[in-house]
Amino acid sequence: MRFFQSFQRITFILVCSVGMAITYAAYVAISNIAAEQSKIQQQSVSPVFSLVNEELLKPLHIAETIGKTRYFDSLLNEENLQKEKVVTLLNKLEQTFDLTVFVASEKQRKQFLSNGRVIDLIEGKVFWYFEAMEHDRDLFADLGQVGDVHLYFDFKVYNEEDQYLGIVGVGKSLKKFIDRFEDYKERFGYDFLFVNENNEIILTSLPDFVVTGAHIPTLDSLLWYQKLEGNKSDLNSRLITENEEDFLISEISIDELDWKLLLLIPLEARQAQITKSFVTNTVIAISLVLIFFASMFWIMMYYKHHLEKTVDIDPLSQLPNRTYVQRRYQQLRRQDADVAVIMVDIDSFKSINDTFGHNAGDLVIKTVSLILSEEIRQQDLVGRWGGEEFIVLVPTSSESYAGKIAERARLRLEKHDFHQGGVATKVTASFGVTFGHSRAPLSELIAGADSALYEAKRKGRNRVVHHSL
């Protein structure tokens, strides 16, 4: 026994040491990969923030600021909005911000632009306005203007009574965005994709993707995106191959628009290959560590289970013995559970041994053990307490449930025929049931169950009696 315990301790220490060494090596490898990728991402992402701020967030905030100006509330409330008055104001704003500025009046169902154009907002012909009215955000972006496609930043306007008045917004030609992208691409060498909440590519530096008012490409149209495996909702730090060149994706959320910006950062072929190989080897190493630990754990648990069976199992009934039952009760105490205890005693067992011999008595012990085992749940425990006496631990919040287990077992045993020397014999048992909390000592619950058991004996045996603590 001592040798086995020493062996367990030594094996455990060796396993832990080897496992810790392998785990530390894997940790260092993963840390190096993460540090390298983080460095690449940081160098790539830093300059793009100024681009996002200047080209997207600045006009977005200008649209919001113009829309919140109280002057537009009164302007859009006018029944007969004068074109000259509106266009003059919009033209001044265009001169100030270098952006196309417009206002769409709900009362007049007309759109006025800073270049002097006036568009009738007719449902079924002008789609953007009526789609914008249904938009769940007050500040959003969309594409428009046939020919010279613009990206517009729209802001819904309401009066003091929260009544919808129309939309104020600013626009910028996609050509200006593309020119800026080309400049950044020449300086930093990576491509941009601005993707909206519908996975549509609104802006991009990719030369093969042209965004028009009638055609807006989606991420699904990209070959590398189609080949991606697993979760596509998070593309950050994913490695892809496009036109035989490797790229690292860096994803930035633009919460103000519910967009995301994807940066395609080119990597040298060898560096990408080494990174992939390193990642693969690290995953394999970690997997081997896990398999190693799982195997050692299974071996240890196997020997532990085998030892417990040898020490804690009654050889005749194959039920847990008193030592095991006591240990199981201590587990229930730690769980702070309600528990019922059933004490079972075979009626007139001595006369069975005296009449039919000890082999017959052994058969009765085995049969009672089997019947009791078949009547309990997986979380319950039946054990041999000693001689012809058995104990059942039932974790339950209901005393009546334990009583039902006892009654079912009593009836089955009563109906069972024991064949001894060609003669069918009946054997019965008495049951004592008590209920309490596992905070109480096991001896206290057993005393209560024993009291009920003796009461069952006094009343004629072959019955179930309950005792309240």
Query: Who contacts 118 (Cβ-Cβ below 8 Å, separation ≥6)?
Result: 83, 110, 111, 112
Q: How far is CA 426 from CA 348, 374, 387, in A?
A: 11, 20, 19
Confidence tier at 81 by pLDDT (50, 70, 90): confident
Average pLDDT value for residue range 247-272: 77
The sign of the CA dihedral 375, 378, 379, 384 is positive
Does residue 44 carry a pLDDT above 60? no
pLDDT of residue 1: 46
Of 67-81, 155-169, 292-306, 424-438, which range is least confident? Answer: 292-306
More confident residue, 165 or 52: 165
Could you give the residue ranges of the DSSP H alpha helices within 58-210? 58-68, 70-77, 83-97, 127-133, 174-188
Q: Which two tokens stand for residue 214?
A: 């009638």
The one-letter code for the residue type at 352 is: I
Does residue 272 carry a pLDDT above 80? no
More confident residue, 228 or 18: 228
Neighbour order of strands in the sheet with 338-346? 381-386, 389-395, 338-346, 429-437, 464-468
Pairing of the two strands 118-120 and 110-113: antiparallel
Report the alpha-carbon distance of residue 293 to residue 79 in Å, rounded.
79
Average pLDDT value for residue range 373-399: 91
More confident residue, 205 or 110: 110
Of 9-18, 44-53, 189-198, 284-293, which range is least confident? Answer: 9-18
The one-letter code for the residue type at 416 is: H
Does residue 47 carry a pLDDT above 70? no
Top mean pLDDT of 44-53, 160-169, 383-392 is at 383-392
Of 20-34, 74-88, 405-419, which range is least confident? Answer: 20-34
Nearest to 157 by CA among 181, 139, 131: 139
What residues form DSSP beta bridges with 218? 200
pTM to 2 decimal places: 0.45
Does residue 411 carry a pLDDT above 90? yes
pLDDT of residue 405: 93
> Residue 412, Cα to own-chain centre: how many angstroms?
47
Average pLDDT value for residue range 131-140: 87
Does residue 273 carry a pLDDT above 90? no
Top mean pLDDT of 66-80, 144-158, 216-230, 452-466 is at 452-466
Q: Concatenated DSSP letters for 372-384?
A: HHHHS-TT-EEEE
pLDDT of residue 2: 44
More confident residue, 90 or 209: 90
pLDDT of residue 463: 94
More confident residue, 303 or 243: 243
Does residue 269 carry a pLDDT above 50? no
Backbone φ/ψ region at 210: left (φ over 0), alpha (ψ -120 to 50), beta: beta
**pLDDT tens, residue by residue, 153-204:** 999 999 888 889 999 999 888 778 777 777 777 777 778 888 888 888 888 8
pLDDT of residue 101: 92
Report the alpha-carbon distance of residue 387 to residue 403 in Å, rounded.
23
Query: Who contacts 293 (Cβ-Cβ below 8 Å, separation ≥6)?
Result: 15, 19
pLDDT of residue 461: 93
% of the chain with per-residue pLDDT over 70: 80
pLDDT of residue 240: 84
Instruction: Count how many Cα atoms sit within 13 Å of the Cα of residue 28 in the half-sphere of its side chain.
Output: 5
pLDDT of residue 271: 56
Q: Which two tokens stand for residue 131?
A: 């789609």
Query: Who contacts 258 (Cβ-Cβ below 8 Å, separation ≥6)?
Result: 137, 140, 196, 197
Does residue 30 carry a pLDDT above 70? no
pLDDT of residue 41: 53
Could you give the residue ranges of the DSSP H alpha helices within 193-268? 223-227
Alpha-carbon Rg for the chain in angstroms: 40
pLDDT of residue 12: 65
Does residue 449 carry a pLDDT above 90? yes
Mean residue pLDDT of the chain comes to: 81
**pLDDT tens, residue by residue, 274-301:** 566 566 666 776 776 677 667 767 766 6
% of the chain with per-residue pLDDT over 90: 27
Query: Who contacts 272 (Cβ-Cβ below 8 Å, separation ≥6)?
Result: 239, 246, 248
> Residue 338, Cα to own-chain centre: how many angstroms?
32
pLDDT of residue 210: 65
Does residue 228 carry a pLDDT above 80? yes
Average pLDDT value for residue range 30-53: 63
Does residue 56 carry a pLDDT above 70? yes
User: How many of the other CB atoms lie within 10 Å of CB of 309?
Assistant: 12
**pLDDT tens, residue by residue, 294-345:** 776 776 666 666 655 566 888 898 999 998 999 999 988 888 889 999 999 9
